[in-house]
Every structure is written in C-alpha cells, then in structure tokens.
Amino acid sequence: MSTAKRPVNLDLSSIQFPLPALVSISHRVSGIMLFIGLIFLMWAFQVSLSSPAGFDTVREAMAHGFFARLVLWGLLSALGFHLVAGVRHLVMDMGHGETLEGGQRGSQLTIIISALLVIMAGVWVW
C-alpha cells in the first residue's frame, strides 16, 4: 500500500474550513468555555451562600465589577451559542439539514440566532 500519492497538508492555517465546520468547532469550544466557567460560577455560588456578607460581596461584584460582568456575559454568550448549536446538531441527527445547502443554511441560522442571544445577554448584564 503506497501512500506517496496522498496529499499531505499539516498546516491548518492554510485550510479554508466551510462555515458548518467552523460552527461545529465553535460548538466544542463553547462547551469547553462553559466547563471552565463553572469554576467561577461555583465559587460565586459558594461565597454567596457562606454568609450574608459573602452574598453582598458577590452581589456588589456582579452589580459594579467590570471583570465579573465580563465573565458573566461571556458565559451567557457561550451558553446561548452552545444551546443553539446543540439544537442544530439534534436537528441534523433527526435527518434534516444534512445536505451541503442545508448545512450551510443551518450554520447561518445558528450564527444569526446566537448573535441575537449574545446581544440580549449583553443588554441584560450591562
């Protein structure tokens, strides 16, 4: 079995990924972001339940802290995108949108809905 005729391209930056592939990869990245963001949420939850002063500390950080609001907005944005992309994958698992055109259309719809959710989360947090 000769592999001399196979093209080998190990430079991922030179590959033009189609939109459905980028949305699928972003879905995985948003899941990792959510998993890591749970550290912040669990810490804030633990501090807020430790005492009334801890609750006031977390409340003040969420109300006036730039970093806390930025993290919260990032987590809500990742959650919104991950949810919409997950629904897209479920719809594809049911046999809809599996063609090239359907995958492209579903990816575009995922980006549009996610952008709206990100904007809504930003308005709510800020």
CATH of the domain at 87: 1.20.1300.10
Is 1 a domain residue?
no
Is 4 a domain residue?
no
- Predicted TM-score (pTM) of this structure: 0.85
Number of domains into which the chain is organized: 1
Q: Determine whether the annotation assigns residue 89 to a binding site.
A: no
pLDDT classification of 39: cutoffs 50, 70, 90: very high
pLDDT above 80 (res 1): no
Contact (Cβ atoms closer than 8 angstroms) between residue 110 and residue 23: yes
**What range does the domain containing 97 cover?**
18-125
Is 54 a domain residue?
yes
Is 10 a domain residue?
no
CA 23 from centre of chain? 10
Is 24 a domain residue?
yes
Is 65 a domain residue?
yes
Q: Which one is predicted more confidently, 1 or 37?
A: 37
Alpha carbons within 13 A on the beta-carbon side of 37:
18
pLDDT tens per residue across span 68-114: 999 999 999 999 999 999 999 999 999 999 999 999 999 999 999 99
Is 50 a domain residue?
yes
Please give the Cα distance from 29 to 20 (Å, whole number). Answer: 14
Please give the Cα distance from 39 to 45 (Å, whole number). Answer: 10
Alpha helices in the chain (DSSP H): 19-50, 52-64, 66-93, 100-125
User: Under 8 Å CB-to-CB from 96, ≥6 apart: which residues?
Assistant: 102
